[in-house]
């Protein structure tokens, strides 16, 4: 089955992204289109935002030759449902959440890869560590036996001018260099996950190693509240 536009969008974004890895954000996207993007377009990473939707799709997604990541806000009581189903959790924005991931991973005898979520715009309605909390938080995350912190993730505030994204991404990149590369680069491949459909060009320019693209590939979507 062909899905017009998906392959062309992926090829265009890859050309613009350079060395940054492309993760497809697949919230509300049906499994047929996800499978097409993976099998026909060679996508290696997909990310779900909601635990319930991930579970509903999981029987199909687990058969695909790609990594499944969790990229949305994660509540502590939902960790147990996805701990054995994803290879990376992007949105670890508190120590209690990290502790619960460590506890659940230990039950399954695994080490869960995670990213430290940074609230780079210091927005009250967003989760994540404030910039000045990142050094201590990342150091604490390194101390758990069943959690492997690989880097940082951020969602910049919505900016009217594209150039405004640069200041947020540049600040995140500096945190990444100071707190992640120096501590994990000799052990694992560090990850800086920043940039979405409306800001990935600026994110790549500022050093992002992974961009999270949904509507830029699949088109605008209608979300149920």
How do residues 39-53 score in pLDDT, each as one tens digit?
Answer: 999 999 999 999 999
pLDDT by residue (tens digit) across 67-102?
A: 999 999 999 999 999 999 999 999 999 999 999 999
Euclidean distance between CA atoms 2 and 72, whole angstroms: 29
- Side-chain half-sphere exposure of 71, counting CA atoms within 13 A: 25
Q: Rg of the chain over CA atoms, in angstroms? A: 17
Return the domain boundaries, the chain: 6-218
CATH for 6-218 (3.40.50.300, 3.20.20.10, 3.40.50.720, 3.40.350.10): 3.20.20.10
Cβ atoms 214, 221 nearer than 8 A: yes
CA atoms within 13 A on the CB side of 64: 28
Q: What pLDDT, in 10s, does the model give residues 205-216? A: 999 999 999 999
**Beta carbons within 10 angstroms of residue 205's beta carbon:** 14
User: Predicted confidence band at 222 (pLDDT cuts at 50, 70, 90)?
Assistant: low
What pTM did the predictor assign? Answer: 0.95
Kindly report the number of other CB atoms within 10 A of residue 154's CB atom. 29
Give per-residue pLDDT as tens, 158-204: 998 888 999 999 999 999 999 998 888 677 889 999 999 999 999 99
Query: For residues 53 and 27, is the Cβ–Cβ distance under 8 A?
Result: yes
Q: Which residue has the higher pLDDT, 171 or 225?
A: 171
Q: What is the chain's mean pLDDT, rounded?
A: 95
Give the dihedral of Cα atoms 56, 61, 63, 66; nearest 10 deg: -160
């Amino acid at each position: 089955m062909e899905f017009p536009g998906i392959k062309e969008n992926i090829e265009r974004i890859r050309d613009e992204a350079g060395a940054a890895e492309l993760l497809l954000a697949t919230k509300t996207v049906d499994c047929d289109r996800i499978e097409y993007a993976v099998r026909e377009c060679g996508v290696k990473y997909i990310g779900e935002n909601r635990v319930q939707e991930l579970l509903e799709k999981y029987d199909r997604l687990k058969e695909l030759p790609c990594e499944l990541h969790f990229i949305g806000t994660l509540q502590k009581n939902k960790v147990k449902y996805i701990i054995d189903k994803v290879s990376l959790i992007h949105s670890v924005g508190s120590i209690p959440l990290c502790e619960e991931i460590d506890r659940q991973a230990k039950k399954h005898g695994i080490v869960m890869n995670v990213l430290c979520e940074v609230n780079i715009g210091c927005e009250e309605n967003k989760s994540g560590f404030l910039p000045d909390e990142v050094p201590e938080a990342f150091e604490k995350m390194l101390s758990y036996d069943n959690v492997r912190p690989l880097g940082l993730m951020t969602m910049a505030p919505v900016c009217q001018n594209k150039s405004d994204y640069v200041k947020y991404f540049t600040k995140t990149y500096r945190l990444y260099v100071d707190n992640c590369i120096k501590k994990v680069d000799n052990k694992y491949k560090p990850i800086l996950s920043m940039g979405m459909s409306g800001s990935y060009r600026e994110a790549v320019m500022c050093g992002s190693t992974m961009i999270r693209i949904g509507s830029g590939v699949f088109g605008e979507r209608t979300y149920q509240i």
